[in-house]
Amino acid sequence: MSHQYQSLLDEFAYAIKHFVPTLPKETKQEAQAVLERLQADSEADETTIRKSFHDVGVKEYPYRRAYIELTHGLAEDEMNAMVLEHVEPNVRAIIKPHLDSGVSLDELIQSDIFIEQLTPEQRYQVEDGIMVARSKLADSLKEHVSVESEEYARLVEKWKDQAVQIDKAVSDLKVLASEGNENQKREIQEKAAVYSEGFLITERDPEFSTIKKEIEYWQEVIHPTE
């Protein structure tokens, strides 16, 4: 009998499968242990599973972002080709002109174009294509990343600091929710949940600047300047 939240657990398993090759073995093993524990726990609810998404994602995020930053531009044409091959023709027709003009895949999925011109299903095709392409190119890209290098270590620390800042901003947003009315509280909590889960590789990375703007917006709505 499958778990009542099997689709969420499948997403978790998919994320683990596509962790970057430079992620410490211990971190991947820990994530796998968390997944297996949740799979065996029929009482594990959606809140528990999504919290695990966050907790694992926060640990994986700095290594992934450091890896991406170091390999940015390497095999980019090859990755673009793989993603274009992966998606359906109607999606390819939308994203190909932007990639051909020099927009990177990372820039594309953070753009308004991605949100406004593609449906959720089409966005998933692109995001899935990127993860599949990265997995296929992992061995060749890993040759360019020395996990012992000072530059890699510096980038990991940089992204760890960024993760702490983002987590703190999400917590500030959750606190703000308690100061609004019921509708505001619900909307803010939903936003905070999306940002919190964004650390997992299968979700859209949370951006510190975006969360700060969200906080500023709700502060003005809930406590308008006299």
pTM for the structure as a whole: 0.78
Kindly provide the b/e burial profile for residues 61-93, where b requires at least 16 CB atoms within 10 angstroms of the residue's own CB.
bbbbbbbbbbbeeebbeebbebbbebbeeebbe
The pLDDT mean for the chain works out to 89
Mean pLDDT across 185-209: 90
Q: List the chain domain ranges.
A: 6-69+146-222, 76-142
pLDDT of residue 73: 74
Reply yes or no on whether the pLDDT at 109 is more than 90. Answer: no
Specify whether the CB–CB gap between 176 and 211 falls below 8 A. no
| 21-25, 27-31, 44-48, 201-205: the lowest-pLDDT one | 201-205
| pLDDT band for position 60 (cuts 50, 70, 90) | very high
| 10-14, 48-52, 110-114, 135-139: the lowest-pLDDT one | 135-139
pLDDT of residue 61: 95
